[in-house]
Structure 1
Amino acid sequence: MTVTRASAPPAAQAAAQAITATGLRKSYGDKTVLDGVDLSVPEGTVFSLLGPNGAGKTTVVKILSTLISPGAGSGGIRVGGHDPAVDPQAVRAAIGVTGQFSAVDGLITGEENMLLMADLHHLPKREGRRVAAELLERFDLVEAARKPAAGYSGGMKRRLDIAMTLVGSPRIIFL
Structure 2
Amino acid sequence: MRQALLRADTLLSMKHGLVRLDNVWGVGGGLRPVKYLVRQMNLLLQEYLSSGDLHEAQRCLMDLEVPHFHHELVYEAVVMVIEAISGQVEEAMCRLLKILSSAIIITPDLMERGFLRVYEDMPDICLDVPLAYTVLERFVERCHKAGFLTDPVIKKMPSRGRKRFVSEGDGGRVKGEFESVSSRNQVFV
* Common fold by TM > 0.5: no
Higher normalized strand content (fraction of residues): 1
Higher normalized helix content (fraction of residues): 2
Query: Rg larger in 1 or in 2?
Result: 2
- TM-score normalised per structure 1: 0.25
- TM-score normalised per structure 2: 0.24
Relative contact order, CA 8 A, sep 6+: which one is greater? 1
